[in-house]
Amino acid sequence: MALAALAALAAGARLGRRLGGPGPGRGHWTAAGRSRSRREQISSAACGYGFTLLSSKTKDVTKVWGMGLNKDSQLGFHRSRKDKTRGYEYVLEPSPVPLPLDRPQETRVLQVSCGRAHSLVLTDSEGVFSMGNNSYGQCGRKVVEDEVYSESHKVHRMQDFDGRVVQVVCGQDHSLFLTDKGEVYSCGWGADGQTGLGHYNITSMPTKLGGDLAGVNIVQVATYGDCCLAVSADGGLFGWGNSEYLQLASVTDATQVNVPRCLPFSGVGKVQQAACGGTGCAVLNGEGHVFVWGYGILGKGPNLVETALPELIPPTLFGLTEFNPDIQVSRVRCGLSHFAALTNKGELFVWGKNTRGCLGIGRLGDQYFPWRVTMPGEPVDVACGVDHMVTLAKSFV
């Protein structure tokens, strides 16, 4: 893959603010802006509530770009061209996000993640950086009463983990961190138990989770709304947080769960990946099959509205036929109310609420089963938000 061949394509909410793209939209894909970020190899993308982050593993000083809403400085401080003392609350094209790196020409950015109004940036050697709203401690620092987040220069660095952080995930107003020791840390809003720390209070310092995760080697965590999932190295699945939509109803009748619980789903097999939205969940097993549960448009047609137990989406809906027997889903993602899946043949399928055309299927109606997306490139990864989606794609040229 040539370094310049990987671009970011976006679909969804209009005004261009979230996507950095021009013109009116009806659920079509567009290149995410015209800035220098298109000439870099974008390695990670994240969609927040009306904003987007892109990052590259480059050793250049500029490693992260942001676009969209910035009213809580979730994209950092972007100085106004008209008044140097003021900052922009809307960033209309991919713009460099400054990070206070000690070694800017050596440190690499590995991953970015976006929540409702905060962002996380994971580096290879300088810890995790957080920006944006910290009203509930989701940025991993002490909550300051009456703090003004608009036009803020504050970028917080987190390094106090027992081990190296290998994945960061933003929920709505909470944050999850996975270390190379297979341990999970959390901070932020806990009213639904989404911090998994045994209480329903806010937590401003990243704290290690226990419960059924104790002694378990976790390899992936997922969240976006207020429910959380974790996958273990041996293919087990764990969950905590909001369960108002049957996400955790397989193990409890409670609507909020404040400690991680093992979800003993039979018939799913070994779980490889999990995805978690506002009301629905999905897992991908070792055979490349996708299972869904929860509430909403889950991908098995309009008749399946809710289920407490995972249901298999027929593999034929992802292109499996007797003439294409090797097709498997390789990645599954989830926004607030929509899903996306990538296959090993480089095809992208989407389904769910098509809010503001976020599915990129050329129309604005909701999609009740997986639909293959046509775009000017081969998708290699995808990030889902509330009303927009970003795909990293290799150019056909």
Residues in the chain where the model's pLDDT stays below 50: 1-5, 15-17, 22-24, 34-38
C-alpha to C-alpha distance for 81 and 102, rounded to whole angstroms: 27
Q: Does residue 72 belong to any structural domain of this protein?
A: yes
Residue 127 φ then ψ, to 5°: 80, -155
Residue 117 φ then ψ, to 5°: -150, 25
Q: Does residue 207 belong to any structural domain of this protein?
A: no
Residue found under tokens 């995930």: 169
C-alpha to C-alpha distance for 106 and 32, rounded to whole angstroms: 27
Q: Does residue 373 belong to any structural domain of this protein?
A: no
The Cα-based distances of 358 to 13, 159, 299, 301, 393 in angstroms read: 6, 35, 16, 19, 17
> Which pLDDT belongs to residue 15?
40
Q: Does residue 394 belong to any structural domain of this protein?
A: no
> Which pLDDT belongs to residue 20?
56
> Which pLDDT belongs to residue 206?
98
Q: Does residue 49 belong to any structural domain of this protein?
A: yes
Collapse the DSSP code of 339 into the 3-class scheme (helix H, G, I; strand E, B; otherwise coil) and give the result.
strand
> Which pLDDT belongs to residue 344?
97
> Which pLDDT belongs to residue 79?
80
- Measure CA 71 to chain center: 20
Tell me the longest C-alpha to C-alpha distance in the chain. Answer: 64
- Helix (H) or strand (E) holding 205, with range, is strand 203-208
Say how many domains are in the chain: 1
Q: Does residue 69 belong to any structural domain of this protein?
A: yes
- Return all residues near 334 (Cβ < 8 A) that are at least 6 apart: 222, 224, 275, 276, 277, 280, 281, 282, 340, 384
Q: Does residue 268 belong to any structural domain of this protein?
A: no
> Which pLDDT belongs to residue 106?
96
Residue ranges making up the domain that contains 72 = 40-107+129-159
Q: Does residue 100 belong to any structural domain of this protein?
A: yes
* Closest listed residue to residue 68, CA positions, set 24, 32, 42: 32
